[in-house]
């Protein structure tokens, strides 16, 4: 059996928003009591968006500060940035030779980001999921907390692991590097685990506050569409007050949220921030108007997010401390990644 290990990453691009918090950071924090965790600022991934990126180091520190401010303990767990551990890039190259172009072409994130002129997209954008698989599998991580948008990339990570395990099964067996795992009904011996995403919770995809059909995102031109982790209480209240809703009162049961994406989103956000289920929230607010629910949601969001923003500012004032956390974390990560790569090189005969 593989030892349970959690890995996840966040790109150093733009400010973190409530979607990143509920889809990622809040889960990262919750998992650290029960699991060994590795949390990474994936700076190499961010090169797929903009290669020339003057404030990359600054953005990397800012995401690190958000990790720490949210409550991740860098003494118990590993916090580092991807480019400091070159084994990620090495394994990604090997995975580029394992994965098929057709697998990459099917990724919806690639199609969205590449747009119409796909021939002109960077090769890095196409190969992004291969680097993501390497980030995870270089630690042989078994669990990845992510938002719903990353589900397809996690499936691809499993496909890469499975193909590597199959292609090299006799080498893996000869070297006794296989670990037993369950694949459906069967027990098989493989080198890489078939990593599971951890996506559940009351809101797996936080939607834009202005349009219930789009995910909340850093790249949305409307600042009213998202709550940034660094927004102050006034900004948070204003954005929730202006959030798009419908004229009905809140239903008292979940079935009543069907066909009401904006209501579903706000109830999900309330549930996730308060640690309740959506059913609990509707038991409290069913029958009430948004004019009553929104101020309660704004108070809750301010309560949860403003201490994080304050802590982020405090930590960011000491870049030397942040750099020391990243340096120390990178050292620990490198040791683990190199242990895997020694075996991988042997398996493939390098």
Backbone angles phi, psi at 183, to 5 degrees: -120, 105
The residues, ordered by sequence, that sit 6+ positions from 122 with a Cβ below 8 Å of its Cβ are 48, 51
Instruction: Report the DSSP beta bridge partners of residue 197.
Output: 144
Piece of 90-98, 213-221, 290-298, 320-328 that binds ligand ADP (CB under 6 A) = 213-221
Residue 252 burial (CB count, 10 A): 15
Task: Check whether 190 is labelled as a binding-site residue.
Answer: no
- Is 256 annotated in a binding site? The answer is no
Span from 16-24, 85-93, 183-191, 232-240 in contact with ligand ADP (CB under 6 A): 16-24
- 20 belongs to the binding site for ligand ADP (CB under 6 A): yes
Provide the token pair at 306: 């403003």
Query: Least distance (Å) from ligand ADP to the CB of residue 274?
Result: 17
Q: Does 150 bind ligand ADP (CB under 6 A)?
A: yes
**Nearest alpha-carbon partner for 76 in 1, 2, 6, 146:** 6
Is 320 marked as a binding-site residue?
Answer: no
- Residue 108 has phi, psi (to 5 degrees) of -65, -35
* Cβ-based nearer residue to ligand ADP, 11 or 64: 11
The stretch near ligand ADP (CB under 6 A) out of 142-150, 156-164, 246-254, 316-324 is: 142-150
Is 218 annotated as catalytic?
A: yes
Catalytic residue among 151, 218, 238, 336: 218
Examine the residue annotation and report whether 111 is marked as an active-site residue of this protein: no
Q: How many residues sit close enough to ligand ADP to count as binding (CB under 6 A)? A: 17
Residue 217 interacts with ligand ADP (CB under 6 A)?
A: yes
136 contributes a contact to ligand ADP by CB under 6 A: no
The residue among 220, 227, 228, 261 whose CA lies nearest residue 244 is 261
Longest dimension (CA), the chain: 67
Segment lying near ligand ADP (by CB under 6 A), choices 75-83, 214-222, 300-308, 319-327 = 214-222
* Shortest CB 16 distance to ligand ADP, Å: 8
Q: Which of 144, 148, 129, 142 is nearest to 40 (CA)?
A: 144
Q: Considering the complex, state which of residue 190 and residue 197 has its C-beta at the smaller distance from ligand ADP.
A: 197
- Phi, psi (deg, nearest 5) at residue 86: -65, -15
Compute the C-alpha angle 270/212/280, nearest 5°. 25
**Residues facing residue 187 across a β-bridge:** 182
User: 197: burial class by Cβ within 10 Å (0-12, 13-18, 19+)?
Assistant: buried
- Binding ligand ADP by CB under 6 A: which of 5, 6, 10, 141? 10
Of 5, 6, 24, 78, which lies in the binding site for ligand ADP, with binding defined by CB under 6 A? Answer: 24
Which tokens hold the place of 154? Answer: 């996690």
- Segment (H or E) for 16: none
What does the alpha-carbon distance between residue 235 and residue 224 come to, in Å, rounded to a whole number?
9
Catalytic, 239? Answer no
**Cβ-proximal residue to ligand ADP, closest one:** 23
Does 133 bind ligand ADP (CB under 6 A)? Our answer is no
Instruction: List binding-site positions for L-tryptophan.
Output: 135
Interface residues toward ligand ADP, by CB under 6 A = 10-11, 19-20, 22-24, 146-147, 149-150, 205-206, 215-218
- Active site residue ranges: 113, 215, 218
């Amino acid at each position: 059996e593989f030892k349970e290990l959690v890995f996840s990453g966040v790109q150093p691009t733009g400010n973190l928003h409530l979607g990143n918090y509920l889809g990622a950071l809040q889960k990262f924090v919750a998992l650290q009591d029960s699991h060994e965790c590795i949390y990474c600022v994936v700076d190499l991934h961010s090169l797929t968006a903009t290669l020339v990126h003057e404030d990359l180091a600054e953005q990397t520190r800012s995401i690190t500060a958000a990790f720490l401010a949210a409550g991740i303990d860098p003494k118990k767990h590993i916090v580092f940035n991807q480019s400091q551990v070159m084994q990620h890039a090495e394994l990604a190259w090997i995975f580029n030779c394992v994965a098929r172009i057709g697998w990459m072409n099917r990724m919806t994130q690639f199609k969205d980001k590449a747009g119409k002129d796909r021939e002109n997209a960077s090769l890095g954008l196409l190969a992004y999921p291969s680097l993501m698989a390497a980030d995870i599998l270089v630690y042989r991580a078994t669990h990845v907390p992510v938002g719903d948008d990353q589900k397809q990339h996690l499936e691809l990570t499993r496909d890469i692991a499975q193909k590597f395990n199959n292609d090299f099964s006799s080498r893996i067996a000869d070297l006794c590097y296989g670990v037993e795992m369950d694949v459906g009904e069967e027990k098989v011996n493989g080198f890489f685990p078939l990593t599971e995403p951890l996506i559940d919770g009351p809101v797996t995809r936080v939607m834009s506050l202005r349009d219930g059909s789009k995910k909340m995102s850093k790249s949305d031109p409307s600042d009213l569409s998202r709550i940034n982790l660094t927004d102050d209480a006034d900004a948070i209240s204003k954005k929730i007050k202006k959030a798009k809703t419908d004229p009905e009162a809140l239903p008292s049961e979940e079935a009543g949220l069907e066909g009401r994406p904006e209501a579903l989103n706000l109830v999900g956000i309330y549930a996730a921030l308060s640690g309740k289920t959506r059913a609990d929230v509707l038991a409290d607010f069913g029958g009430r108007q948004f004019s009553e629910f929104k101020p309660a949601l704004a108070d809750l969001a301010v309560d949860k997010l403003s201490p994080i923003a304050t802590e982020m500012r405090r930590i960011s004032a000491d870049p030397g401390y942040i750099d020391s956390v990243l340096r120390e974390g990178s050292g620990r990560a490198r040791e683990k990644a190199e242990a895997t790569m020694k075996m991988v090189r042997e398996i493939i005969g390098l």
